[in-house]
Structure 1
Amino acid sequence: MSPRVGLGSNKIVMAAAEIADEQGMEGVTLAALAARLGVRPPSLYNHIDGLAGLRTQLAVHGLKQLYEAMSSASQGLSGSDAVLAMGKGYAAFAKQHPGLYEMTLQAPDADNAELIEEGDRVLKLITCVLEPYRLGEQGELHAVRGLRSILHGFASLEQKGGFSISLDLNVSLSATIHAFLAGIDQFRE
């Protein structure tokens, strides 16, 4: 049996990303995906390696999109301006694509080179933006962990409605990133 014309892995991943953003990671099932695409679930197996394979493809797609959001936000900037813009790009991606963002948080499959490569691209971008602070190799890695923790925490709290007080979230995020940068010397080796 030949694969359905017009149905390819890219179309499947895009439809799955929509479901993830609408319903969360748990909503991404082969039955829901097949219904969205108007096909029978067995048809999907011509293009994906089951639900686990689909989730890996979603994670790769999500990491590519996250990288683009962070990279384009910080392009042409340096120092605190770059860190702030990159952080805002991260938070905006997580807000616009909550399910896809959730997919990016899974530990990479050690057997999937593309997933590891995309995760490394995100980390290298953060490292590159923090490079002017001259923290040393280990200090830089600690700072990357700290900044990712701040950004993830902020994005997660925002997604879950944890910021119900009517204060400008942009101001809160900017102040938090500036506070991180004010103490960045703590990471220096």
Structure 2
Amino acid sequence: MTGTSDSRNRRWAATHRCIFTTALELFEDFGFEQVSVGRIAARSGVSVPTFYAHYPSKEHLVMAPPTVEEVGALLATQPPGLAVGERVLRANLMWIARMPPDEYDELATRWRIIATTPALRTRVAEYERATAGMILANLPAPSDTVQIVQATAALAATTAALLAWADGNGQRKLEELFDEAFRALSA
């Protein structure tokens, strides 16, 4: 049974990856809003229901929010005595440093798509709030107003850096943009 399960998992992962890479190519070539789920599915060689078995929407291909566990793992690498904003900045820098080159390139592609799609730029604020909530959920003490504001501001700075990176077509290092955005918070 294990062999069948492993084979099924590999097939599922390969299909998931195929849908993802195909969608990014289509979004880059034609624009996010001009590409339908049906077109992604057809180009990927899957049915529309199979697409939805892998992704709840085409938006989820581009805007991949972290999980509570991923946020917690990144924050756990930072000294707990630091302010929330400093912990988020350091976690962002660690996240980028650990990212394999192909994932870094995909991150750049996803953020270029977000930056050029007004509806996605607007939706980023919802993801910021959700991720700020994940940060607060991973803090050892109950969140107070200061922590809430720090987490929300840190996520706004993160988004500003990512959008500046995408708007500049990756000409500047993302790490520099993170540093600049977080310095603006303390100015």
Match in the other structure for 1:54? 57
Counterpart check, 1:123 vs 2:126:
no
User: Structure 1 residues 28, 142: closer, same or farther in 2, change over 3 A?
Assistant: farther
- 1:19 deviates by 3.5
Contact 1:16–1:28 at 8 Å: present in 2 too? no
Match in the other structure for 2:65? 63
Match in the other structure for 1:82? 87
Rounded to whole Å, the distance in 2 between the matches of 1:67 and 1:99 is 25
Match in the other structure for 2:4? none
Counterpart check, 1:16 vs 2:19:
yes
Letter in 2 for 1:161: G
Q: For 2:155, which of 148, 154, 158 is the aligned residue?
A: 148
Within 5 Å, which residues of 2 pair with 1:86-101?
A: 86-88=91-93, 89=95, 96-98=106-108, 100=110
- 1:107 deviates by 7.5
Letter in 2 for 1:145: T
- 1:155 deviates by 0.3
The DSSP-based 3-state class of the residue aligned with 1:63 is coil
Counterpart check, 1:31 vs 2:32:
no
- 1:158 deviates by 0.6
Q: For 1:106, which of 117, 123, 126 is the aligned residue?
A: 123
User: Structure 1 residues 136, 75: closer, same or farther in 2, change over 3 A?
Assistant: closer
Given the two structures, how large is their TM-score scaled by the length of structure 2?
A: 0.53
Rounded to whole Å, the distance in 2 between the matches of 1:64 and 1:10 is 18
- 1:74 deviates by 4.2
Rounded to whole Å, the distance in 2 between the matches of 1:168 and 1:144 is 23
Given the two structures, how large is their TM-score scaled by the length of structure 1?
A: 0.53
Task: Render the CA deviation track for 1:140-181: whole Å, top value 9, x for unaligned.
Answer: 2222221111110110111121775xx65534422432453x
Q: For 2:179, which of 165, 170, 174 is the aligned residue?
A: 174
Q: Which moved more, 1:77-86 or 1:148-157?
A: 77-86
User: Structure 1 residues 59, 15: closer, same or farther in 2, change over 3 A?
Assistant: same
Rounded to whole Å, the distance in 2 between the matches of 1:86 and 1:10 is 27
Rounded to whole Å, the distance in 1 between the matches of 2:51 and 2:151 is 33
Which runs of 5 or more structure 2 residues have no equivalent in the other structure?
1-6, 115-119
The DSSP-based 3-state class of the residue aligned with 2:77 is coil
Contact 1:63–1:104 at 8 Å: present in 2 too? no
